[in-house]
Amino acid sequence: MKNNINLIYNRSEIGAGTRGSSIGIDALLMEATKKGSTFFRDTPSQAINDKNHILTVPSNHKWAKHIDGLIGIYEEVCDTVCQVLQKENFPLIISGDHASSGGSVAGIKKAFPEKRLGLIWIDAHADLHSPYTSPSGNVHGMPIATIINEDNLKFELDDVDESTKIEWEKLKNVGGVKPKALPTDIVFIGVRDTEKEEDYLIEKHGIVNFTPEILREKGVEATLLEIKEELLADCDIVYVSFDVDSLDSNIVSTGTGTPVENGLFVEEVKKILKAFLSWNKVIALEVTEINPLLDNKGNKMAETALEILEFALNS
Ligand SMILES: [Mn+2]
């Protein structure tokens, strides 16, 4: 457990393909109030200025929708995360869509440019697309590409116009360091819904992916040990990103932008997050992609995220 947490709410949902994840943050806070949880009440917090108003106008950037707005979001998230870290506090970022995490990592790298940064990505997806390979143009599928500076031009499918190319370079440059992490310093947990362009990068860079099956075969404890003692042993600091779509959509709910079945169990994620929050190398956590508008079971995804967080945060 970290005792110096500073909450950062990023209600931007401009990287997502479907609207509603901005409300995910308030669904979580509402649930906490209802359950009598005092964590959010008692923890210092600040909010990023979202730019969700731009979503009423169609984007000019077909293969990186609203990337012009996202650059500002990345910059503000970057500066906020950096300031929290410089005060020796622990940023807990609760974000609408997962594009946010590129800004979070930029902020970590801005605060610690000399440190080797590892990433633990708990997600159904690999988030490795670029505007050149994305099937949708939704930037929440691209944050790792911004972090490792990977365009994957070998699989160039999309006809990306010059202005989008310029904005994409700007997005990757936020925080002033490029790349922000090495692909070999990324560990996936729960990734099970990828495209062939991403599979190529996973193989090319040798990114280790603990799918739900592999996690169960190895066991949670052994997996955690392998991550800490082997895979990320040479990293100085570690960022953990928890996309709620890593959870099994049949067991939990469809309350997230891109729900995927056959995912992680709630008990597994509880144990994983609790273990990482007690690891001194872990310096920031992000929780993202709760979308109550898509939830088939009321507010189940926000309730579940609260249950996981409460468990992980209490020592
Ligand atoms: Mn994601």
Residue 289 near residue 98, CB atoms below 8 Å: yes
Give the CATH number of the domain where residue 141 resides.
3.40.800.10
Q: How far is the CA of 167 from the centre of ligand 1 (A)?
A: 21
pLDDT tens digits along 124-136: 999 999 999 999 9
Please give the distance, rounded to the nearest whole angstrom, from the Cα atom of residue 122 to the centre of ligand 1: 8
Q: How far is the CA of 2 from the centre of ligand 1 (A)?
A: 24
Find where tokens 């280790």 sit: 208
Arithmetic mean of pLDDT, 264-268: 98
3-class DSSP assignment, residue 61: coil
Average pLDDT over residues 212-230: 98
Query: Is residue 315's pLDDT more than 80?
Result: no
Average pLDDT, the chain: 97
C-alpha 209 to ligand 1 mean position (Å) = 14
If you measure from the C-alpha of residue 243 to the centroid of ligand 1, how many angstroms do you get, rounded to a whole number?
Answer: 5
Q: By C-alpha distance, which of 238, 224, 241 is closest to 287?
A: 241
Q: What percent of the chain has pLDDT over 90?
A: 98
The pLDDT of 242-247, averaged and rounded, is: 98
- 130 CA to middle of ligand 1, Å? 14
Determine the distance separating the centroid of ligand 1 and the alpha carbon of 82, expressed in angstroms: 22
What's the mean pLDDT in 132-159? 97
Q: From ligand 1's centre to the CA of 234, what distance in Å? A: 25
For residue 2, the model assigns a pLDDT of 82
280 pLDDT higher than 90: yes
Res. 1 pLDDT band, cuts 50 70 90 = low
- Separation of CA 283 and ligand 1 centre (Å): 19
91 C-alpha to ligand 1 centroid (Å): 18
Q: How many angstroms is it from 141 CA to the middle of ligand 1?
A: 6
Nearest to 103 by CA among 119, 123, 80, 136: 80
> Where in the sequence is the domain holding 87, given as residue range(s)?
5-313
Mean pLDDT of 78-86: 98
Q: Cα of 83 to ligand 1 centre, how many Å?
A: 24
How many structural domains is the chain composed of? 1
Quickly tell me which residue has 């994840």 as its tokens: 21
How many angstroms separate the alpha carbon of residue 275 from the centre of ligand 1?
Answer: 21
Q: Quick check: 46 pLDDT over 80? A: yes
Q: What is the reported pLDDT for 4? A: 96
Secondary structure element (H or E) that encloses residue 130, with its range: none
Please give the pLDDT value at position 189.
98
